[in-house]
Amino acid sequence: MKISWKPFCFDRVRLDDELHIIQADVSHFMDQLGYYQSFLSPEEWSWVQPTSSAAVRILARGLLRRLLAHYLKTDPHTLCFEYGIHGKPRLKGGGLQFNVSHSHEKIVMIFSKDHAVGVDVEYVKRKAAYLAIAKRFFSQKEAAYLSALSSAALPGAFFKIWTLKEAYVKSTGEGVGAFRYFSVDIEDKDLRIQASSVLSSPCFLSQFVLDKDYQVAYTCQTAERVQVCAFNKF
């Protein structure tokens, strides 16, 4: 899917019936790290501080709070979150649907008024034991597909499948343990979830490449195709 990016203007952008996808380059926000850190609750600060990717996690959470506050017309500090059994965050009391992902130098967020959403971004230059991971977590069909690919084609196909599966389980609230119970066919132009009735639900699923080095996938829990607005500058 081709994405047309435009600037995010806080005095103009409103969330209606479409999906909003927002990407941020970490390097563009490092001089504002203290500003975004000030939005975090003590609980949030406690679980981002000790990590090696603390700056990225602070920015991801701070940006999320700022954007949610914009859509809801409230103060970023007042937002309260609760978490599903697999860690998916949601606003206490319900309301706006959202999801966030980050990898290396990119943060990607998705927002919807009414439908559960999920997003995943992965840095494709990161080396991994692709087949070993696929055999452990993916469906048998997906693992067999990847095993038949050349070494040159394997990484790209792996990240396409991983991001699609991750985006889907993030929208449903399932964990990575659910990966093996459904499949995605990346050669089918109409991306669909092939799953058991337990996990299967109507959804809109899509993916795109971001700045050549990042694979992104997103999903929205609705059977209808939805309009997407994409923003990349603040």
- When divided into structural domains, the chain yields a total of 1
CA distance 151 to 50: 36
Q: What single-letter amino acid sits at 3? A: I
CATH assignment of the domain containing 20: 3.90.470.20
Tens-digit pLDDT string for the chain (234 aa): 778 899 999 988 999 989 999 999 999 999 999 999 999 999 888 887 667 688 999 999 999 999 999 999 999 999 999 998 888 999 998 889 999 999 999 999 999 999 999 999 999 999 999 999 999 999 999 999 999 999 999 999 999 999 999 999 999 998 899 999 899 999 988 788 887 655 556 788 999 999 999 999 999 998 787 889 999 887
Domain with 190 in it = 5-233
The Cα-based distances of 91 to 12, 82, 96 in angstroms read 24, 6, 7
CA angle 159, 163, 169 (to 5 degrees): 145
Q: State residue 193's pLDDT score.
A: 83
Q: What's the CA gap between 214 and 131, in Å, rounded? A: 20
Give the separation between CA 180 and CA 168, rounded to whole angstroms: 13
Cα–Cα distance between 14 and 71 in angstroms, integer? 7
At 47 the pLDDT is: 81
